[in-house]
Amino acid sequence: MSPTDGDDASEAASAASVRLIAVTREQAACMLSMSLSHFQRHVQAELPVLYVGRLRLVRVADLEAWAEQRAALAGAPSAR
């Protein structure tokens, strides 16, 4: 057996354990359980976006902070 045998399985296992620090808008929408169009209309404008060429990335920490803020607002009395 050569040292490279089984590398696909070990690479898949290590890829599953990698903690992402930034995700695409599609992934961000999925993480928030919403469609991409809803994310773009209602969430993206409230988050900083990283531009890498034509690719737009959102930091996972920013997504988590946005969700925490929204969860806190949901429990607060309405300002209307």
pLDDT of residue 79: 52
CB atoms within 10 A of CB 6: 10
SS3 5: coil
Average pLDDT value for the chain:
85
Higher pLDDT, 80 or 72: 72
The answer to whether the CB of 63 falls within 8 A of the CB of 31 is: yes
pLDDT of residue 15: 65
Q: Count Cβ atoms within 10 A of the Cβ of residue 28 and give its class: 0-12 exposed, 13-18 middle, 19 or more buried.
A: buried
Mean pLDDT over 76-80 rounds to 58
Under 8 Å CB-to-CB from 60, ≥6 apart: which residues? 20, 21, 22, 23, 31
How many structural domains are present in the chain?
1
Query: Which tens digits make up the pLDDT trace of 25-37?
Result: 999 999 999 999 9
Residue 60 belongs to a domain: yes
Residue 37 belongs to a domain: yes
% of the chain beyond a pLDDT of 70: 72
Residue 15 belongs to a domain: no
Q: Which domain holds residue 33?
A: 20-75
